[in-house]
Amino acid sequence: MTDAALTTDTLAVTYTGNRRVEAVKGVSLEFPRNQLTAIIGPSGCGKSTLLKSLNRLHEIQPNVEISGDVTLNGRSVYDTDDPIPEIRKRIGYVPQEPTPLPLSIYENVAYGLRIHGEFESDADLDDRVERYLRKVNLWEEVEDRLDAPGAELSRGQIQRLCLARSLAVEPEVLLCDEVTSALDPVSAETVEETLADLKSEYTIVMVTHSMDQARRLADEIVFLYLGEVVETNDATSFFENPQAERTKEFVAGHGVAVPDDSDDEQSEKPSVTPEQ
């Protein structure tokens, strides 16, 4: 049986604004411990919505309904009295856009540790900041300018700084939402190399548009289509021996886009009904 750090049980997410959109439709998944799982699928299939619902990040926007559950190391993420910041500490999130805090390089990493009071002395804080900058392969590039603003770094360096900030509070799971797609190819490669180094030590769930990146990095693949899981498998089996017809088409590079609403009334798209 899989040793799963994170599981979902018939998790469903519906946007209830001007129109109802069933973005994630009753998804049950297991994310294995200390492995990198890539969530892939065509644009609009619900990848980001699924990722954000894993640590309740979607709750920062109005008009979202959720049912089902997420379990982190045996404890419900939804049916709990734990404060949401505590949940998001245990399940970290790195967004697509590299976003430094308006603080120094050092303080960007120290930030969460200071908030959660998780250091014993200044020397301990220094050690932790260095440890996590090393983990993301950034220490040697910044050790002589730790007091400089984080925003002065290159975008690839900032994204690694954001990874260090997330890792410093020792999350049980790390969510990565297209973390290389806003970067130039060289920066994207350095961030990808960092994820490759981290993945045996952390449970990582990553959304990516890049099949090549999923092939290079992922241990496990979840293929979503129209808010449902079409296929999930270890990466080698998924790419070399896809089972579902939809997966075969997707892997072969076909059927990539969810049809546009305006093209065809009968076309497949996330279930949308007008607001009552």
User: Given the rule CB under 6 A, which residues bind ligand ATP?
Assistant: 15, 17, 21, 23, 41, 43-49, 61, 270
Cβ proximity to ligand ATP: between 55 and 157 the closer is: 55
- Output the smallest distance, CB 221 to ligand ATP, in A: 15
> Which residue in 208, 212, 269 sits closest to 239, CA to CA?
212
Neighbour tally for 211: CB within 10 Å? 16
Whole-angstrom distance, CA of residue 184 vs CA of residue 201 = 27
Residue number with CB closer to ligand ATP (34 or 181) = 181
| Cα–Cα dist 127/124, whole Å | 5
Our CB check for ligand ATP shows the closer of 184 and 261 to be 261
CB of 72 to ligand ATP, least distance (A): 21
Shortest Å distance, C-beta 41 to ligand ATP: 6
For ligand ATP, which is the closer residue by CB, 138 or 230? Answer: 230
Closest approach of ligand ATP to the CB of residue 218, in Å: 16
Residue 66 beta carbon to ligand ATP: minimum distance, rounded to whole angstroms: 13
- Residue closer to ligand ATP by CB (options 47, 199) is 47
CB atoms within 10 A of CB 96: 16
**Residue 244: C-alpha distances to residues 51, 212, 240 (Å):** 23, 20, 12
* Long-range contacts, stretch 185-190, CB < 8 angstroms, 24+ apart: 186/156, 187/154, 187/155, 187/156, 187/157, 187/159, 188/156, 190/137, 190/156, 190/160
